[in-house]
Amino acid sequence: MGSFSIWHWLIVLVVVLLLFGRGKIPELMGDVAKGIKSFKKGMSDEDAAAADKAKTVDHKADEVK
């Protein structure tokens, strides 16, 4: 039960190619890359919105209750 040999990886590669086909794998990788870019953009937009919100906080220390 050690690590996989080269034959194991070749068999896995053949099975993956049979399931997805040659043209489907690059398309799938492109979709994954688009998802990662969208996630990064969403995270940076969220950070920018939080920074803008933090800058617009009103200071009301002069008010007496």
- pLDDT of 62 strictly over 70: no
Give the per-residue pLDDT at 36. Answer: 94
The Cα angle at residue 57 between residues 55 and 61, in degrees rounded to 5: 130
Say if CB 9 and CB 16 are below 8 A apart.
no
- pLDDT 10s digits, 9-48: 999 989 988 888 878 878 888 999 999 999 999 888 877 7
Query: In angstroms, rounded to a whole number, what is the distance separating the alpha carbons of residues 52 and 45?
Result: 11
Question: What dihedral angle (degrees, nearest 10) is formed by the CA atoms of 45, 47, 50, 52?
Answer: -70
In the chain, what are the helix, strand and coil shares in percent, each to the nearest 5? 70, 0, 30
